[in-house]
């Protein structure tokens, strides 16, 4: 159980596309549902969208509604997970940008982490706000008018942001608090005086994951082996039932 906070009766939209970071969607999703919230995955297309574990394919998640069918009036809050590809696709979608702007301007809580603030930057809603994000996009959010802080979680007005999956233990309760608080009459508070500096080097976790990721041939061979095992188990089960 993630928290004792209750979100019973609250309806939360999770805006995501193919390439979302798996842990940044699935862990918050479980926490929201455990707290009693009704959660819809909103995306650019129908069907199931593909997640990633850093640079490797992960499981798919079912889409509940498309972005052109969703509106801020339908929900009590918005969550935008990150990943490298997911927010890059979303920020190029006019309906996705419009939906994000609608939520921010409504005063309803908007929660995002990692590369998710890219979408807020492209939606034009970061001017004068104070946020955090994955350090690699620090300059993008600063150039969009925000003050950037190198902290686990930053909550300013109706925006709650976090740096990434490394801060998930702090992010989840902050997310639940934000959605429990509900709509704020005033969405902008006093920003920090200036941004924290950009990091001096990229995180070892990401560079190591890329360096040691398996060759495509290895991944394909593993997939073929798993498929063969699945067929064998299926045949054995079928024979046992006859």
200 in a structural domain = no
Domain that holds residue 220: 212-241
Are both 140 and 100 inside the same structural domain? yes
CATH at 139: 3.40.50.880
Give the catalytic positions in this structure.
115
133 in a structural domain = yes
Are both 221 and 172 inside the same structural domain? no
| pLDDT for 54 | 84
CA dist 120 to 34, 53, 150, 211, Å? 27, 23, 18, 31
Residue 97: alpha-carbon gap to chain centroid:
15
103 in a structural domain = yes
- Number of compact structural domains in the chain: 2
| pLDDT for 25 | 97
CA dist 26 to 41, 52, 240, Å? 11, 11, 36
218 in a structural domain = yes
117 in a structural domain = yes
pTM of the model: 0.82
Are both 174 and 225 inside the same structural domain? no
Q: End of a domain among 181, 202, 223?
A: 181
Are both 164 and 114 inside the same structural domain? yes
Per-run averaged pLDDT (10 residues), the chain, 242 residues: 73 98 97 97 98 90 98 98 96 98 98 98 97 97 98 97 97 97 65 84 72 58 55 56 46
6 in a structural domain = no
| pLDDT for 193 | 79
| pLDDT for 2 | 43
Are both 217 and 119 inside the same structural domain? no
24 in a structural domain = yes
Please name the residue ranges forming H helices in the chain. 22-34, 86-91, 94-106, 117-122, 138-143, 168-181, 204-211, 216-241
| pLDDT for 202 | 79
148 in a structural domain = yes
Contact status, residue 129 vs residue 152, Cβ threshold 8 Å? no
Are both 122 and 216 inside the same structural domain? no
């Amino acid at each position: 159980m993630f928290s004792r906070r209750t979100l019973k009766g609250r309806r939360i939209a999770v805006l995501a596309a193919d390439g979302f970071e798996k842990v940044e969607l699935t862990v918050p999703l479980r926490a929201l549902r455990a707290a009693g919230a009704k959660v819809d995955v909103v995306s650019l297309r129908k069907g199931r969208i593909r997640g990633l574990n850093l640079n490797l394919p992960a499981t798919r998640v079912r889409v509940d509604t498309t972005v052109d069918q969703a509106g801020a009036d339908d929900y009590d809050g918005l969550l935008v997970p990150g990943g490298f590809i997911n927010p890059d696709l979303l920020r190029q979608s006019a309906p996705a940008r419009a939906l994000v702007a609608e939520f921010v301007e409504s005063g309803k809580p908007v929660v995002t982490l990692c590369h998710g603030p890219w979408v807020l930057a492209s939606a034009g809603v970061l001017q004068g706000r104070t946020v955090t994000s994955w350090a690699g996009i620090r300059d993008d959010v600063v150039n969009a008018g925000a003050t950037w802080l190198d902290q686990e979680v930053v909550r300013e007005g109706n925006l709650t942001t976090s740096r990434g999956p490394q801060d998930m233990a702090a992010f989840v309760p902050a997310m639940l608090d934000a959605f429990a608080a509900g709509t704020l009459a005033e969405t902008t508070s006093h920003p920090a005086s200036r941004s924290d500096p950009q990091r001096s080097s990229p995180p070892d976790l990401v560079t190591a994951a890329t360096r040691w990721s398996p060759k495509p041939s290895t991944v394909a061979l593993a997939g073929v082996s798993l498929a063969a095992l699945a067929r064998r188990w299926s045949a054995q089960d079928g024979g046992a039932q006859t």
